[in-house]
Structure 1
Amino acid sequence: MKYYLSALFCIFISSYCQAIVVKGRVTDDKDQPLPFATIFIKGTTTGTTTNAAGQYQLDLAPGQYTVVCQYIGFKRTELPLNVNTSAQILDFRLQPVNMQIKEVVVKANGEDPAYAIIRQAIKKRHFYQEQVKEYTCMSYIKGTIGMKGVPGRFMGQKIDKKDMGVDSTGKGMIFLSESVTKISARQPDKIKLEVISSRKSGGGFGLSFPAIISFYDNNVSAVITQMGPRGYISPIAENALAYYQYHLEGTFTEDGKTVNKIQVIPRRKHEPLFSGYIFITDSDWRIHSTDLLLTSEYQLELMDSLEIRQTHVPVTGDIWRVKDQVIHISFNKFGFRMGGSFVNVYSDYNVAPRFPPKFFDNTFLKYDSAFDKQTHTYWDSVRPVPLETDEVKDYHEKDSIAKAARDSSFSRYHLDSLQHKQPRVKVMDVLWNGVKRKYYFRRDSSIQYNSLGVRGLLKSLKYNTVEGLVIALEPDLNIYTGEESSLRITPFLRYGLSNTHFNAYTQIDFSNRSKERKRFGRNDWLLAGGKRVSQFNQDNPIDNIANEFYTLFLKENYMKLYENWFGKLRYTRTFQTNDKLSVGAAYESRNPLENTTDFVIFKNDRKQFTPNHPYELANVPFEKHQALVLDASFTFQPGQQFVELPDRKIPFGSKYPTFIIGYSKGIPNVGNSIVDFDKWNFSVQDNMNFKLLGEFRYHIGIGGFLNDRNVQIPDYQHFNGNQTFYNIKYLNSFQLAPYYRYSTTAPFYATANVEHHFNGLLTNKIPLLNRLKWNLVAGANGFYVNSDNNYMEVFGGIENIFKMIRVDVVAGYQSKEDTRIGVRVGFGGILGNMVKLKTN
């Protein structure tokens, strides 16, 4: 009996002390809702933000409170609250702030009084930037993106609005996400994010990375680098007066402090600058709040506009931190009209956390083991920003659809439905797009599939002077072997109509992820064998499309080929740190090939095709022989950062360079192999973002032959030349160099590829270019073997043309030849840098 009485007493006390929901609405003096207003308990950072309808809710224990409500441009309001019932309503009706223009002595030059305030804020900038050496806080993030219009077709393809999640008018919510994350930080650059919970409408990963924006920094990042590679100059940066004009719109008093409302006006367009308002407190010159805007006129990329609104509140007597932050984005291009908002609510600041030793390790983002398993009740209890009507609807509809799909996923009907719902094969699929079919089956607790794909027939046609017209089929079979592994089988079938040679080989790729004792990593095996055609330079410096164009239209046959029966085995271990060890063995029976056709579309009697043997190496014989080559390489990048999921770690990058070391050995007298050499190489590469000054990229390498007793042409050190009009290997090629003229077996060589991407610096001052956002790029490439074998080229160009294209003018110099001038076209810019093309 005593036990049961104690249990009942505990239940009673627990129920009595449960948090009580306080709800309300925040409006202006005309009863219009104020979206994303700040609500918090005075003397704490416990609080919330209103939603777009001006609604808020707070969970509070019984007691006496003073609730503070503030909104940019309105008087801060405090209301007493006695929490003692099951639910309470507390509404706020805010009055516009009465701006007072301070009486100031205007200088003879007519300087606005805002400049004196900004100078004081700049002097205090570093103090506030470094004031808090370390801290922890909780962050709630809600992100929404909605479509307001969708075109019927895009790039010739019909848009399926239903698949996008929008209605027939092109309107609807396409993204809704919430998360709760604990932030731990230490000056100058240590940070750890622990995702407590996260959800996304319809399932999947939500947005869990808080956009930590500090206007005390000189250079402010706009959420992601792609939106502004140079960053943006803060209105109180050290050199801000050179970029901004300021106007004091007035002052108001809040909680005994005078707050200055200062309009921020960019001096020039096409600079990475904000416009809008920054509020600075008098005497201590700290940021009170911000309402700042980025637009495409001020180097904002991808989006049309991005607005950042922040409210800062006291954490302790002298320390203020961001209480809430709202980011609004808009996009209107190609018929797509989109808008979104990302609300961050920060609470529970601790500015003296005393982190244990080694707390800040290489894991900067860690997900709790149950981050995606929380119930609706949980979210209702922790969500500080009430859901709006359309958000409730979106969660309900998409979660219901996802649940129904999961519930039916094991039914025979669902399996047959997946099988039959695959798109019909169309003529264009057979000719160009390719055909892919999936074959579904049940495995353990899920439905999986194997897939078979075939490239379009027209893409399977190739042409060169050795084989003539080539039919090259590459069917691709992916077989499900488990959640942690994959198997891919790719046969390569190739027939040359001119030389009548049929080549066929098969490549098998098997990959499995290991996580024994949390030692995460991946093992990859490659096994291949058969008969194939290869370029002498195994880096494949020229791709098929470029070779076909130059051969058929310009009578230039740059691609040089040999035929080989081969067997190849390679093992690659990718470690948890993303370092990679690769070892392999390849055996080839190599056969020379000759040109068998001189067909061209445009005849030109003044030109003749060169022999298939690289003419620059005419004095180096290439006869039928066998070669056994062993090789190993190790790639490592120190300081790797990680995202840690409950079942794995994902490398996220590092601020340090990537180092690569390699070694290959020609083995003589095994299987009639005649090659006998030892070859080594070492390289370092990195991308370094200097923000306003642009991005510097480099790739520097050295290497050579320790032994060159018998080196055949495919085993030479080749420097990737380029004699076509376009280039896609900027940091691993020489844009005007011939393909094989500088190939060598020397004991030592050195290479360097460097380029600087100005990302709008300089071109933002040139009319037309600044409007088009075409950016300058410049650099140099070179290698040195000896005084007779060396090459240098310099180039300058324009990139980000249509966000994709880059054009360079290049001057190449070799000590015994005249300077060469050429133009090269490739991919470069915000989107172009993401393009990766298959070159063989």
Structure 2
Amino acid sequence: MKISFTISLLLSVVQLTIAGGLRGNIKADDGSNLGYATIYVKQIGSGTTTNENGLYDISLPAGQYEIVFQYVGFETQTLNVTIGEGYTELNVVMKSQTVVLQNITVRAGKEDPAYTIMRKAIAKAKYHSQQLDFYSAQVYIKGTGQLKDYPWLLKKEMEKEGIEKDRVYISESVSEIEYRRPNTFKEKTISVYSDGKDNNTSPNGYIFGSFYSPEIVETVSPLSPKAFSYYRFEYEGTFKDRSYEVSRIKVTPRSRGDNVFEGMLFIVEDAWSIHSIDFTTTKLGITFKMKQVYAPIEDKAWLPVSHRYQVDAKVFGFEFEANYLATLSNYKIELNKDLFVEDMEVIDEKLEKAKAKEVESRFSKEAQDLQKRMEGGKEITRKELRTIVKEYEKQEAKAQKEPEVISNYTQEKDSISFKKDTTYWNAIRPVPLTRAEIKGYVKVDSLAVIEQKKEVGDTTKQRKHKGFQPWDLITGDSYKVSKHSNFSIETPTGGFNTVEGFNLIYKVRFGTILQDTNKTRLMITPTFRYAFARERAAGKVNFSLRNKNYRLNIEGGRYIKQFNANEAIFPPINTISTLFFERNFMKIYQRDFVEARLRKSITPKFSFDATVEWAQRSAMVNTSDYKIVDRDHIEGYTSNNPFSRELNSEILTPDHNALVASVNFSAKPWLKYRIRNGKKLAIDDSSPVLRFNYTKGIDALSSDVNFDHIEAGIRHSFDIGVRGRLDFDLGAGAFLNDRSLYFMDYKHFAGNLTFITTSSPVGSYRLLDYYNYSTSDMYFTGSVHYQFRRFIVTALPYARMLGIRENVFVNYLATPSSRNYTELGYSIDGILRIFRVEAAAAFENGKYVDWGVRVGIATNISVRFSDND
């Protein structure tokens, strides 16, 4: 290994001796090294940066070049250099930038001049995002990461996984990227060199994203049309960069927290394009610092030539940092001739009212073409520019085959991308490695030998599966049966309820692929259940056939089911509530059944779910009064018969047969998509969800039920400007026919009487009894949930930085017996990024009834909606 590494180094030295180019060191005028300074070669549209020690290295063929040296806060230097056969050394000292205030006086009561600069830049943002039909470039990305600390209790586990504290992990990649307007991106990875298991750690969201878009990586851009609601801007002066005047704008969030930027934005005057950025943002308590430097490609479009990202985080005892460096070179661009206009002058009608009025007087409302509009003069108001570009995008969207597709991203990797050796990387790497990075790569090469041995069968580090062991019956495990089949034993589960006493639930699974062409998979899952107090066994078996187009389930057996088929109370919560608090909320019955269920997507926007079940349904009674804590003030367990306010009595369920069929339709008519590698991925919350359900109790095959139940509803989630986010779920239904039905056929609602809530925050009640308000009549249910960005606790910036959010919610239920049941609540969300704590009060006909405190999972990680709810 050491010999091969030495040979690689010698070969790289030979190659570097033969190759030509430019190398050197960049320092500040105080003598310090300027790490990550940008070097741009104008003739070939290439960019690179120095490493953290200020060293750079560019391979160039012999010739004359104009080299541009840039660093935020320092004067740009342009030098003409002649490159011969070998390397030319060029050391550069950069001077601190001289920023001067323009002849603009900020008088009392007048706005900061930054606002007119930003109004023009925002007005032109859409134009900049559309001015290129196509561009391509080569991207070099280097990422380094370091785990600085972790909980000492996990030390052995971390060592077992080969994760070392303070070691520098490094990865490099070279890719060719292409962008074609309006939304198509292609990336071809040419080579990858990594000592980490994840080779997809590049910050492509920012590299492929654009600050000209309203949002970038779910963060509001300072060039968004709604930026003035999110940010304050302050003019800090103007400096000269070559022949360009560049304004320095300080960007400050009006409300600090996640998903906003803070820092410096540099705008090229007259062009009103981005010159560079120096921003910080946070997400889930992780801090991201970023710097981007742009260059005028072919003197027509300012595009980024270097990116730098620094990530710092402290999460649950883990402290880590990561650094990413990306350079873009070999730009090729094609202008959008329909929009590109040179020397366009944007008029701010707010400050230049007379001039704007004169310019607009020449503007024909029918002239929606920018080129034609410019024939009357190069001056255009912000309003005109926005109108023309908006109309252009509207007409273009009509011409697109799939206007609902927001982005189309394709990634492919060269078949030998992971096989390039050290010699190759030493020749192509545009940024010299530091000593720590070289040390990390020595470790990589030693690990690579082990990985290669694994691939050819060496088992010194790779343990084959041990096969079945007796303790697997307790711990669970999975086994490979054949190439397409597997068998697994699940870890046993169980709990306690007053009907069964303690119970044991045991599952095994067998899965196999039936067809390779469409990946049709068969899964067989037998489930065994034993009730110790009843001394009875139950069981069922499920046959599941599924592929990308449909899912068919056929299930049958004898099993236990809650009266509310959607599991009104989570069994583990009921176990705790019963044993420790003497509150047995779960009400169950037994069914001997056969059920078939088909789920199919008609289109990505429309799907249906059809179910038919025949069952013998039997009542069950309590058989155990065991409890761990005996509450003296509680008389004992309640019966297993639910209480109905509608019938004003406990429900006694006689044994009966039931044949029930239902069909559910779901529609997302305005759904938007992203395409990744040819696969359409729906964008959450891009469309409201409309739903319709029809359930029929069928009087046939000895069935004792005969009813018709319909329900319709809508749910959606969307941002309301800068203030917050609104979620709502509304539903209404009725029993058109109730000639014969039993309590399990009633409409039940998502109630809760325990301290812990496991239901979605939207569409569930916090204090509602599980069955008191169940109905076989008409009903309406509504849930509205509003999340504030800034309210009471979140008025403190520190709370927002910790990810705290505040919510208010209203839940309403109308049934013949509910007395306009209403809940009003308030919650603090995102505590430790995981939990939410709620306080709610209940009212009937406007009169106070009850209150309670609930603890649940934070809304950002809880399941908000399910398409099959």
Which TM class, normalised by the smaller chain length? 0.7 to 0.9
1:330 positional shift: 1.0
- Name which of 279, 289, 300 aligns with 2:276: 289
Aligned to 1:658: 689
Aligned to 1:3: none
Aligned to 1:491: 526
- 3-state SS of paired residue (2:464): helix
CA distance in 2, matches of 1:100, 1:816: 64
- Provide Cα deviations, 1:575-607, integer angstroms capped at 9, x if missing partner: 672754322322211110111222322142543
Aligned to 1:40: 40
Change in 2 beyond 3 A, CA 1:697/1:196: same
- Provide Cα deviations, 1:247-292, integer angstroms capped at 9, x if missing partner: 55xx543213344445556788669765443334456665422222
CA distance in 2, matches of 1:233, 1:281: 15
- Paired residues for 1:45-64 under 5 Å: 45-52=45-52, 54=54, 56=56, 63-64=63-64
Contact 2:142/2:170 (<8 A) preserved: no
The answer to whether the aligner puts 1:166 opposite 2:163 as a matched pair is yes
- Provide Cα deviations, 1:630-675, integer angstroms capped at 9, x if missing partner: 22223333434143436x55545461122333322222221x2122
Change in 2 beyond 3 A, CA 1:53/1:585: farther
Higher RCO structure, 1 or 2 (CA under 8 Å, sep 6+) = 2
CA distance in 2, matches of 1:771, 1:642: 30
Q: Under a length normalisation based on structure 1, what TM-score does the superposition of the two structures give?
A: 0.80
Change in 2 beyond 3 A, CA 1:486/1:557: same
Change in 2 beyond 3 A, CA 1:597/1:461: same
CA distance in 1, matches of 2:277, 2:743: 65
- 3-state SS of paired residue (2:592): strand
- Name which of 732, 754, 774 aligns with 2:763: 732
1:452 positional shift: 2.0
5+ residue gaps in structure 2? 1-17, 339-395
The answer to whether the aligner puts 1:833 opposite 2:862 as a matched pair is yes
Change in 2 beyond 3 A, CA 1:669/1:626: same
User: One-letter code of the match for 2:637?
Assistant: F
The answer to whether the aligner puts 1:365 opposite 2:408 as a matched pair is yes
User: One-letter code of the match for 1:610?
Assistant: T
Aligned to 2:126: 130
Aligned alpha-carbon RMSD (Å): 4.2
1:468 positional shift: 1.5
1:82 positional shift: 4.5
How many residue pairs match? The answer is: 767
User: One-letter code of the match for 1:22?
Assistant: G
- 3-state SS of paired residue (2:756): coil
User: One-letter code of the match for 1:604?
Assistant: D
- Paired residues for 1:605-754 under 5 Å: 606-616=634-644, 618=649, 621-638=652-669, 639-645=671-677, 649-653=680-684, 655-670=686-701, 672-690=702-720, 692-729=722-759, 730-746=761-777, 748-754=778-784
User: One-letter code of the match for 2:502?
Assistant: L
- Paired residues for 1:274-673 under 5 Å: 274-281=261-268, 286-294=273-281, 300-315=282-297, 317=299, 319-346=301-328, 347-352=331-336, 357-358=399-400, 362=405, 364-367=407-410, 374=417, 385-386=430-431, 388=433, 389-390=437-438, 396=445, 401-408=450-457, 417-420=463-466, 435-440=475-480, 443=483, 450-456=486-492, 460-479=493-512, 484-512=519-547, 521-574=548-601, 577=604, 579-600=606-627, 601-604=629-632, 606-616=634-644, 618=649, 621-638=652-669, 639-645=671-677, 649-653=680-684, 655-670=686-701, 672-673=702-703
Which stretch of structure 1 is more off in the superposition, 734-743 or 132-141? 132-141
- Provide Cα deviations, 1:416-459, integer angstroms capped at 9, x if missing partner: 9321499x998xx98xxx6233334673xxxx773423325xxx
User: One-letter code of the match for 1:351?
Assistant: L
Change in 2 beyond 3 A, CA 1:728/1:192: farther
- 3-state SS of paired residue (2:578): helix
- 3-state SS of paired residue (2:284): coil
Contact 2:587/2:640 (<8 A) preserved: yes
User: One-letter code of the match for 1:505?
Assistant: K
1:703 positional shift: 2.7
Contact 1:144/1:341 (<8 A) preserved: yes
Contact 1:270/1:764 (<8 A) preserved: no
User: One-letter code of the match for 1:581?
Assistant: F
Contact 2:118/2:223 (<8 A) preserved: no
CA distance in 1, matches of 2:249, 2:63: 39
- 3-state SS of paired residue (1:499): coil
1:763 positional shift: 3.2
- 3-state SS of paired residue (1:131): helix
1:816 positional shift: 8.9
Aligned to 2:365: none
Aligned to 2:95: 96
Aligned to 2:381: none
1:766 positional shift: 4.3
Contact 2:230/2:253 (<8 A) preserved: no
- 3-state SS of paired residue (2:722): helix
- Provide Cα deviations, 1:736-762, integer angstroms capped at 9, x if missing partner: 11111222222x433222101114455
- 3-state SS of paired residue (2:768): coil
CA distance in 1, matches of 2:605, 2:593: 30
CA distance in 2, matches of 1:583, 1:478: 24
CA distance in 1, matches of 2:131, 2:225: 23
- Provide Cα deviations, 1:185-204, integer angstroms capped at 9, x if missing partner: 44xxxx22222237663576
User: One-letter code of the match for 1:418?
Assistant: K
Change in 2 beyond 3 A, CA 1:544/1:178: farther
CA distance in 1, matches of 2:146, 2:461: 32
- Provide Cα deviations, 1:710-767, integer angstroms capped at 9, x if missing partner: 2222121111211212222222322211111222222x43322210111445533248
1:691 positional shift: 5.8
- 3-state SS of paired residue (1:159): helix
1:549 positional shift: 2.3
1:828 positional shift: 1.2
1:560 positional shift: 0.6
Alignment identity in percent? 21
Aligned to 2:143: 144
CA distance in 2, matches of 1:382, 1:539: 62
Q: Under a length normalisation based on structure 2, what TM-score does the superposition of the two structures give?
A: 0.77
1:538 positional shift: 0.1
User: One-letter code of the match for 2:766?
Assistant: Q
- Provide Cα deviations, 1:443-491, integer angstroms capped at 9, x if missing partner: 3xxxx773423325xxx33111111222222344455667634443333
